[in-house]
Structure 1
Amino acid sequence: MAAGFWARFGALLLDAIIVSISLAIITLFISGSELNKEYVTNLLSFLYSLLLPVFWGGYTCGKRICGIKIRKISDHSPPGIGTMLLRNLIAGIVYGLTAGIGVLISALMVGLREDKRAIHDFIAGTEVVYND
């Protein structure tokens, strides 16, 4: 069953909390200056959202806690690196070019569409579903 807006939002919020605390600690050890901390934090956050679902079967920490996961719509397999690049990088570019309007449209799509797929899901051929 497709995961709706609130489950996805809760997972996003949990990921933000978990990642921000973890990254704050990690960047203290890696980076010396304030300017470098922002770049290191952004890079590590991007790598978290890109790689963790690939290596953890479609889960991030927040998604695992909320009982939802990302999967390919074609064969229901976990996403690969190419899928996650489409989902995060290309969709991020689309959202940036639309000045955030795409994010609002995606939120409405997840809230109102029967299949609960957002723009980034269509770009990458994915869906977010509750655990089996």
Structure 2
Amino acid sequence: MIQHPGGFWRRLLGNLLDAIIIGIPIGILGYILTGDTEGNFFTKLLNYLYYLIVPVVWLGYTVGKRIVGVRIVKVDGGKVGLGAMFLRTFVSGLVYVATLGMGLIVSAFMVGLREDKRAIHDLIAGTYVTTDSHQL
């Protein structure tokens, strides 16, 4: 049962904060370790692992989501697992690439206009973003 879905602006701000607080340091670390400025495999892998693992071990939060007060949960309100996060990050990423970014634009409209605020990646993974703090 979907309760208190997180809206577009909160989710966008959470993603921007993750990019600044986590993404930039990972990019700098990747550059220091590899000398590659063009988005190397190491940097992409660390970013992917961050979005895959942190919500699983931190009750659906990433750093940015925690700051803005939203978290990822399963549609039944339960904790997300590795399977759901794999679908949410990797499989949906393939969908967004295969649609040349159009899927991402559609997802933004879905979050802004749907009552449950679920994007394509939420539908694929059986998740949603809520403003409820953890109650597990």
Identity %, equivalent residues: 48
Structure 2 residue aligned with 1:44: 46
Q: Does 1:12 align with 2:15?
A: yes
AA at the equivalent of 1:48: Y
Structure 2 residue aligned with 1:98: 99
Q: Does 1:56 align with 2:66?
A: no
Cα distance between partner residues in 2 of 1:2 and 1:35? 37
AA at the equivalent of 2:19: A
Cα distance between partner residues in 1 of 2:56 and 2:99? 27
Q: Does 1:131 align with 2:132?
A: yes
Unaligned 5+ runs, structure 2: none
- The equivalences for 1:102-113 within 5 A come to 102-113=103-114
Pick closer, same or farther for the CA change 1:67–1:36 going to 2, 3 Å: same
Deviating beyond 4 angstroms after TM superposition, the runs of 4 or more aligned structure 1 residues are none
* Alignment TM-score, normalising by the size of structure 2: 0.89
The alpha-carbon deviation at position 38 of structure 1 amounts to 1.6
AA at the equivalent of 2:110: M
How many equivalent pairs are there?
130
Which of residues 16, 21, 26 is equivalent to 1:23?
Answer: 26
Structure 1 residue aligned with 2:79: 78
Pick closer, same or farther for the CA change 1:35–1:103 going to 2, 3 Å: same
Unaligned 5+ runs, structure 1: none
Pick closer, same or farther for the CA change 1:37–1:124 going to 2, 3 Å: closer
Range moving further from structure 2, 106-115 or 18-27: 18-27
Structure 1 residue aligned with 2:118: 117
* Alignment TM-score, normalising by the size of structure 1: 0.92
